[in-house]
Amino acid sequence: MSQTHFFPEGTLVAVLTCEPIDRSLDYKAPAGGCEVGAFVEVPLGPRKVLGCVWGAGKGGFDLSKARSVSNVLDVAPMRDEMRLFLEKVADYTLTPRAAMLRLATRAPGLMNPPSMQKVYRRGAGRPTRETEARTRVLGVLEEYGGLSFTLKELADAAGVTPSVIKGLVPQGVIFEEDTPRDLPYGRLDPAQAGKELSGAQDAAARALRGAVAAQAYSTTLLKGVTGSGKTEVYLEAVAECLAQGRQALVLLPEIALTAEFLTRVEERFGAKPAEWHSGVTMTERRRVWKMVGAGGAQMVIGARSALYLPFQNLGLIVVDEEHDQSYKQEDGVLYSARDMAVLRATFCSATVVLASATPSLESWANVEAGKYTRLDLESRFGPAVMPDMHALDLRSEKLPATRFVSDALARAVTKRIGLGEQSLLFLNRRGYAPVTICRACGHQIACDHCDARMVEHRFLKRLVCHQCGETKPMPEACPSCQVEGRLAPVGPGVERLAEEVTERFPDAKVSVLSSDLFGSARALKAAIRDIAEGDTDIVIGTQLVAKGHNFPNLTLVGVIDADLGLQGSDLRAAERTFQLMRQVAGRAGRSEKKGVALLQTYQPEHPVIRAIIAGDEEGFWRAEAAERKMAGVPPYGRMAGIILSGPDLAQVMDIGNALARRAGPLHQVGAQLFGPAPAPIARVRGRHRIRLLIKAEKTAPIQRAVSAWVGQVKLPGSVRLQIDIDPQSFW
Ligand SMILES: [Zn+2]
Ligand SMILES: [Zn+2]
């Protein structure tokens, strides 16, 4: 940017605040002036609010009325590249800039003065009176030569009460000092030796190191199954980035995977990186935010919002499991962290590594189009990494309605138990049964607030709505016909499957891995470790098991319902089923033992099921790409989803129709409009939902058209309009 970067006292500056006002406000620069990008505290009505200096003020009003910036915060100013990035994301996702600034300042207490704490270190001389406790304190301090301790750390280490330490301060034997509470993270040493890499891994690592060393934007798709050493390879890219003195960001899709990953980073670089996700305390969040800005954090492991941290010199972004749906933020600012990572990298000449065993069609297509480089890692166990896959045709099995494991699958499980090996039964459905039906009147128990059926969770002894989280106890009598004792579960969830398995394999040790059965990430981790160590014969799991955990003794995967993901109208249904089935099947036979995957299905001739069984990945992608190209849908066309919601169905529908009648701005850019129609989930939390769908060519300026289009209709306060550019889910 060639504009002014410093504003002397009294000049007008435009300040963007985090408040819901969609424009910047003019203030006078404070005493000492301020820079563009400075984080400031400004008066707004009676309050003081957080803001960022966005540029020169517009003026055009009586300058004597302008208020002054109250305070410039003692944190690194926002860099130009970050401001441009936020503006670009705002324009792309049609999000107000203030909401973007909120995303970029999501750490508490940024306006407070730096928080201090007292620390203690060795002073001079000996205590006036030597006691055993005092000697122990000095012993600890001497042992750690010169290091400072907090009062609690020192008291704990010496096994004394804090008063013993305090008593030594007036004598000068111990120094008490104030230091900032937000301390830098331990230094990561990129020169430390990494794990030994195989030939293919080494070649990939060299390619990535070269990309990082170039200090220019590039994106590489790193494709490799879990056993292929993908993490070791991209950690070499991190090493190169750190060696260049730049910062690295690794995005992970699941908090449960972070702990394991932190350990690997510590082994590789000798210290732990900073962590940024919903499980991190508020104090720690503030520390991460400040240290990333002050250069006291070389590497961050985080969830998608880590993209908006104030990196000063970001050189590498790794998006691990890049195909994972959780990278799409589904409320608030609707953005895809994978796509925004690529955008962010273009502003700061950084390298992007998209890692996956089962890449998204978007990334596959970007490789085909020459936009991304592709690196393939074979498994270190050779080509035998995918297990033998077979379909079990349920049409010929004649299972009773209360059983879900076919005899063929049961025989395979029995065989594994005999060999002392593990089996995984996969069912992507939490709870006991997805539907509870009244055998007297046919009524199905639904959520009172949503257009969704309640799922029975026997473990919790409740019915749960998976849309809104509402729960209620299982009633004795049917809520519709009041007949007692006729409510029956229909279909399986993992809890019901566990019941059947325990009955059919009474001597087997069974573990159920489902996110709602564990109180904490730690409990879940412990369960995963127990399974990996072989303390289980049969694992029953939801999607949770598909994500990266390594069970070396697992040689059989049974998919209870391979057809589940193919239902519904989602354009990515085939892609997701293909990815999920491959990930789950890939759990079998990670070590020397070759695995088998058996897929129970009612439609073994379905092209997706056939592609999964044949293991022809490239063939699947080419066929899927051709279909999407024909249909003009992503990644070969653009889409935007509009959801209108409100308490009154007729009112919401009227607005939807009014929008449809004024589709001129959309037609001008060649876009088509579909709807309004009730959304697939037509009511959530008591609000009726109507959706409209826009389809356009890939190059159409869809955002401008959509803004102009929705701007024509005034919304009543009770109606909410949500725009989702590049929607990932269609509910
Ligand atoms: Zn009934
Ligand atoms: Zn609900």
- Closest ligand (CA of 481): 1
Please, which residues have CB within 8 angstroms of residue 273's CB and are 6 or more apart in sequence? 185, 188, 250, 262, 265, 297, 298, 299, 300, 301
Give the pLDDT score at 330.
76
**Which of 112-116, 239-243, 531-535, 649-653 has the highest mean predicted lDDT (pLDDT)?**
239-243
Please, which residues have CB within 8 angstroms of residue 605's CB and are 6 or more apart in sequence? none
HEC string for 250-281: EECCCHHHHHHHHHHHHHHHCCCCEEECCCCC
Sign of the C-alpha dihedral computed for residues 404, 408, 411 and 413 taken in this order:
negative
Q: Is the peptide bond before 676 cis (omega within 30 degrees of 0)?
A: yes
- Tokens in use for 672? 């088509």
- Closest ligand (CA of 487): 1
CA pair distance 478, 480, nearest whole angstrom: 5
> 456 alpha carbon to ligand 2 midpoint, in Å?
13
Query: What average pLDDT does the segment 434-451 reach?
Result: 91
Query: What average pLDDT does the segment 233-251 reach?
Result: 97
Q: Tokens 């199954």 map to which residue?
A: 225
Strand 218-224 and strand 351-356: the pairing is: parallel
Is 384's pLDDT higher than 50? no
Please, which residues have CB within 8 angstroms of residue 196's CB and are 6 or more apart in sequence? none
Query: What average pLDDT does the segment 48-62 reach?
Result: 90
> 366 alpha carbon to ligand 2 midpoint, in Å?
38
Give the pLDDT score at 570.
73
Q: How confident is the model at residue 213 (pLDDT cuts 50, 70, 90)?
A: very high
Task: Give the start-end residues of each E strand in 621-686.
Answer: 637-646, 672-684
- Closest ligand (CA of 488): 1
Angle between helices 607-614 and 617-631 (to 10 degrees): 150
Instruction: Tell the burial category of 214 from Cβ atoms under 10 Å away from its Cβ (0-12, 13-18, 19+).
Output: exposed
- Closest ligand (CA of 479): 1
> 443 alpha carbon to ligand 1 midpoint, in Å?
5
> 75 alpha carbon to ligand 2 midpoint, in Å?
43
DSSP class per residue in 388-429: EEEEEEGGGT---TT--S-HHHHHHHHHHHHHT-EEEEE---
Is 676's pLDDT higher than 80? yes
Q: What are the start-end ranges of the H helices in 19-129?
A: 80-93, 97-104
Question: Who has greater pLDDT, 636 or 680?
Answer: 636
Q: What are the start-end ranges of the H helices in 535-648?
A: 573-585, 607-614, 617-631
- Closest ligand (CA of 443): 1
Burial string for 243-262 (b: 16+ CB within 10 Å, else e) reads ebebbbbbbbbbbbbbebbe
pTM above 0.75, yes or no: yes
**For the chain, what is the mean pLDDT?**
88
In this structure, which amino acid lies at residue 586?
Answer: G
**H/E segment holding residue 385:** none
Q: Tokens 């209870």 map to which residue?
A: 560
- 3-state secondary structure at position 423: strand
Rounded to the nearest angstrom, the gap between the alpha carbon of residue 537 and the centroid of all alpha carbons in its chain is: 31
Tens digits of per-residue pLDDT, 574-595?
Answer: 888 888 878 777 777 656 677 8
- Closest ligand (CA of 439): 1
Question: Who has greater pLDDT, 524 or 353?
Answer: 353
- Tokens in use for 281? 């305390």
Give the pLDDT score at 118.
84
- Closest ligand (CA of 451): 2
> 154 alpha carbon to ligand 1 midpoint, in Å?
66
CA pair distance 405, 558, nearest whole angstrom: 9
- Closest ligand (CA of 482): 1
Query: What average pLDDT does the segment 18-26 reach?
Result: 89
> 686 alpha carbon to ligand 2 midpoint, in Å?
8
CA pair distance 352, 341, nearest whole angstrom: 7
Which has the closest alpha carbon to 78: 59, 100, 109, 108? 100
- 3-state secondary structure at position 346: helix
> 454 alpha carbon to ligand 2 midpoint, in Å?
8
Q: How confident is the model at residue 73 (pLDDT cuts 50, 70, 90)?
A: very high
**Which of 164-168, 590-594, 726-730 has the highest mean predicted lDDT (pLDDT)?**
164-168
CA pair distance 51, 98, nearest whole angstrom: 9
> 474 alpha carbon to ligand 1 midpoint, in Å?
14
> 458 alpha carbon to ligand 1 midpoint, in Å?
20
- Closest ligand (CA of 453): 2
Q: Is 245 in contact with 294 (CB distance < 8 Å)?
A: no
**Which of 324-328, 504-508, 569-573, 620-624 has the highest mean predicted lDDT (pLDDT)?**
504-508
> 633 alpha carbon to ligand 1 midpoint, in Å?
44
Give the pLDDT score at 609.
86
> 457 alpha carbon to ligand 1 midpoint, in Å?
20
> 508 alpha carbon to ligand 1 midpoint, in Å?
38
- Closest ligand (CA of 444): 1
Lowest mean pLDDT among 167-171, 212-216, 258-262: 258-262
Give the pLDDT score at 83.
95
- Closest ligand (CA of 441): 1
- Closest ligand (CA of 471): 2
Lowest mean pLDDT among 311-320, 385-394, 505-514, 585-594: 585-594
Bridge partners of residue 56, in order along the sequence: 13
Give the pLDDT score at 544.
73
Dihedral, CA atoms, 575, 579, 584, 586, nearest 10 degrees?
140
> 445 alpha carbon to ligand 1 midpoint, in Å?
9
> 16 alpha carbon to ligand 2 midpoint, in Å?
37
- Closest ligand (CA of 480): 1
Is 382's pLDDT higher than 80? no
> 470 alpha carbon to ligand 2 midpoint, in Å?
5
- Closest ligand (CA of 478): 1
Q: How confident is the model at residue 385 (pLDDT cuts 50, 70, 90)?
A: low
Is 2's pLDDT higher than 60? no
Query: What average pLDDT does the segment 513-526 reach?
Result: 75
> 488 alpha carbon to ligand 1 midpoint, in Å?
10
Which has the closest alpha carbon to 728: 644, 641, 656? 641
Give the pLDDT score at 317.
98
Of all residues in the chain, the percent with pLDDT exceeding 70 is: 96
Q: What are the start-end ranges of the H helices in 148-198?
A: 151-158, 162-168
> 683 alpha carbon to ligand 2 midpoint, in Å?
8
Rg (CA), the chain: 29
CA pair distance 341, 217, nearest whole angstrom: 11
Dihedral, CA atoms, 21, 24, 28, 29, nearest 10 degrees?
120
> 521 alpha carbon to ligand 2 midpoint, in Å?
25
Instruction: Tell the burial category of 3 from Cβ atoms under 10 Å away from its Cβ (0-12, 13-18, 19+).
Output: exposed
Secondary structure of the chain: what % helix, strand, coil (to 5)? 35, 25, 40
Query: What average pLDDT does the segment 325-333 reach?
Result: 83
> 567 alpha carbon to ligand 1 midpoint, in Å?
28
- Closest ligand (CA of 446): 2
Q: What are the start-end ranges of the H helices in 556-596?
A: 573-585
> 518 alpha carbon to ligand 2 midpoint, in Å?
22
CA pair distance 259, 236, nearest whole angstrom: 20
- Closest ligand (CA of 466): 2
Is 645's pLDDT higher than 50? yes
- 3-state secondary structure at position 339: helix
- Tokens in use for 368? 């085909």
State the DSSP code for 729. Answer: -
Q: Tokens 């480089």 map to which residue?
A: 373
Give the pLDDT score at 548.
60
Query: What average pLDDT does the segment 221-228 reach?
Result: 84
DSSP class per residue in 460-497: TTEEE-TTT--EEEPPSB-TTT--BS-EEEES--HHHH
Is 260's pLDDT higher than 60? yes
Q: Is 463 in contact with 474 (CB distance < 8 Å)?
A: yes
> 444 alpha carbon to ligand 2 midpoint, in Å?
14
- Tokens in use for 516? 């709602």
Tens digits of per-residue pLDDT, 117-141?
Answer: 788 888 888 888 889 999 999 988 8
Rounded to the nearest angstrom, the gap between the alpha carbon of residue 194 and the centroid of all alpha carbons in its chain is: 27
> 541 alpha carbon to ligand 2 midpoint, in Å?
24
End-to-end CA distance of the chain: 41
Q: Is 275 in contact with 308 (CB distance < 8 Å)?
A: no
Is 185's pLDDT higher than 50? yes
Q: Is 47 in contact with 19 (CB distance < 8 Å)?
A: no
Which has the closest alpha carbon to 101: 21, 2, 27? 21
CA pair distance 392, 302, nearest whole angstrom: 40
- Closest ligand (CA of 685): 2
> 681 alpha carbon to ligand 2 midpoint, in Å?
10
> 439 alpha carbon to ligand 1 midpoint, in Å?
7
- Closest ligand (CA of 445): 1
Centre a 10 Å sphere on the Cβ of residue 614 and count the other Cβ atoms it contains. Answer: 11
Query: What average pLDDT does the segment 424-428 reach?
Result: 89
> 627 alpha carbon to ligand 1 midpoint, in Å?
45
Question: Who has greater pLDDT, 379 or 154?
Answer: 154
- Closest ligand (CA of 477): 1
CA pair distance 600, 610, nearest whole angstrom: 13
- Tokens in use for 235? 């950690």
In this structure, which amino acid lies at residue 318?
Answer: V
Sign of the C-alpha dihedral computed for residues 90, 95, 97 and 98 taken in this order:
negative
Which has the closest alpha carbon to 268: 250, 256, 255? 250
Q: Is the peptide bond before 604 cis (omega within 30 degrees of 0)?
A: no
Of all residues in the chain, the percent with pLDDT exceeding 90 is: 54
Q: What are phi and psi of 319, to 5 degrees?
A: -110, 100
> 480 alpha carbon to ligand 1 midpoint, in Å?
5
CA pair distance 143, 137, nearest whole angstrom: 10
Lowest mean pLDDT among 36-40, 144-148, 193-197, 605-609: 144-148
Q: How confident is the model at residue 473 (pLDDT cuts 50, 70, 90)?
A: very high
